[in-house]
Amino acid sequence: MEKSHQDEFTRLRSSQASLEYLLIVALTFAIIVPTAYLFYNYSKELGHEAIDAQMTQIGRSIIDTAEVIFYSGQSSKTVLDLNIPDNVGSAVIIDGRELAFNITTSFGTSEIVFFSSVNITTLSSNCDANICKIPELASSGFKKVKIETSKNSISIEVI
Amino acid sequence: MRKSQAALEYLSTYAWALVVIAITVGALYTFDVFDFGKYLPQKCIFPSQFKCLDFSLKPSEIKAKLVNNLGEDVCVAFVAVTNDASSPLACDFTPEGEGSCAPGEFEWIHGAEKEFAFTNCVNGGYLADSRAEAKISFSYYSLKTPSKPFHLVNGKINGKVTSG
């Protein structure tokens, strides 16, 4: 009879401990899950802004350098070290004056376009009619971009 | 007898606690405390070339003020608004200021601010006093580029629809 009473007491204590443990775990989850959700959303938006800023800086740097090289005269060239972010779908030169990057975000694809006052081009093998692709600028990572004079235009190619 | 008494005492001790917790959670749920989306800041996100300066979400009307940071005069066409709802958001848009662009388009001079006003918005869970998302997209082309290729821009507004 005494043994049965002790067993009952032990069982009650362990079930109380289990319930308290569950309550603490539930409370912890109730705090962690919404906090993680809020931070995830916030960081996702910051990620878009970071990629946009990085691509704006890259595009501006390519176009500004192309214009400087053009006005520096024949045989001028320079090499830019660029770090291309993820989410860049394509990089093309249109009509020798637009450098367009396709950027993918969670709310769709946008084009970031830079307009050049000098005629820009790339390897002729990558050109079809008025559109020249620069596939190497559409993949992430560090790239060396050579910008040099070429006849009446500025050639932009990844080396 | 002792066993059932212990079980009853155990239940009566924790049942009160569970009932109190359930009522508290129910009250918090009623006041939308668990709608975590509302704790996110209201945002208007566009590429920096078309920076979003201001926006407003009102019942059946969406406005976004953007600035042309391209450094180039452009013509804007195909302006649309939608969202991810099963019955997506749809609004009317009337272009103004055709300038040198084709009919149905409008000219946007570099450095100028432009207000995109969408009216008669329906569907997409776009209701007064609720949190709503609107994806705005438009295409543009440069007036100086010979082949006039269209470029797509996507942006997003996330905020509360205010009836005031």
Span B146-160, pLDDT tens digits: 899 999 999 999 888
Q: Tell whether B104 is within 8 A of chain A (Cβ).
A: no
Cα–Cα distance for residue pair A108/A125, rounded to 1 Å = 30
Confidence of residue A2 (pLDDT cuts 50, 70, 90): low
Closest residue to B36, CB basis, from A34, A56, A100? A34
Share of chain A above pLDDT 90, in %: 34
pLDDT value, residue A1: 54
> Given A16, A53, A108, which is nearest B137 (Cβ)?
A108
CB contact under 8 A, A12 and B10: yes
3-state secondary structure at position B20 = helix
**Bridge partners of B115?**
B65
> What ipTM was reported for this prediction?
0.76
**Structure tokens of B9?**
């005492």
Is residue A16 over pLDDT 70? yes
| Cα–Cα nearest to B49, from A113, A73, A21, A157 | A113
For chain B, what percent of residues have pLDDT higher than 90?
35
CA distance B86 to chain A (A): 16
**Average pLDDT, integer, range B83-108:** 86
Answer CATH for B41-160 from 1.20.140, 1.10.3470, 2.60.40, 3.10.450: 2.60.40
- What angle (nearest 5°) sits at the alpha carbon of residue B68, between those of residues A156 and A120? 15
Considering only the C-alpha atoms of chain A, give the largest distance between any 2 of them, rounded to a whole number of Å. Answer: 106
Digit-coded pLDDT (tens) for A73-116: 888 899 999 999 988 989 999 999 999 999 988 778 889 999 99
> So what's the pLDDT on residue A15?
78
Q: Is B111 in CB contact (< 8 Å) with chain A?
A: no
pLDDT per residue as tens digits for the range B45-59? 999 999 999 999 988
Give the span between the Cα atoms of A86 and A138, in whole angstroms: 9
- With vertex at residue B42, the alpha carbon angle to CA B44 and CA A55, rounded to the nearest 5 degrees, is 35
Asked whether the CA dihedral B107, B108, B114, B117 is positive or negative, the reply is positive
Is a pLDDT exceeding 80 seen at residue A12? Answer: no
Contact of A69 with A152, CB cutoff 8 Å: no
Rounded Cα–Cα distance for residues B162 and B164 (Å): 6
pLDDT tens, position by position, A36-82: 888 887 787 778 888 889 999 999 999 999 999 999 888 889 999 99
Amino acid A108 reads G
List of long-range contacts for A70-75, beta carbons under 8 Å, 24+ apart: A70/A118, A70/A149, A70/A154, A71/A118, A72/A149, A73/A149, A74/A149, A75/A149
Residue B142's pLDDT is what?
Answer: 92
With an 8 Å Cβ cutoff, are B39 and A38 in contact? yes
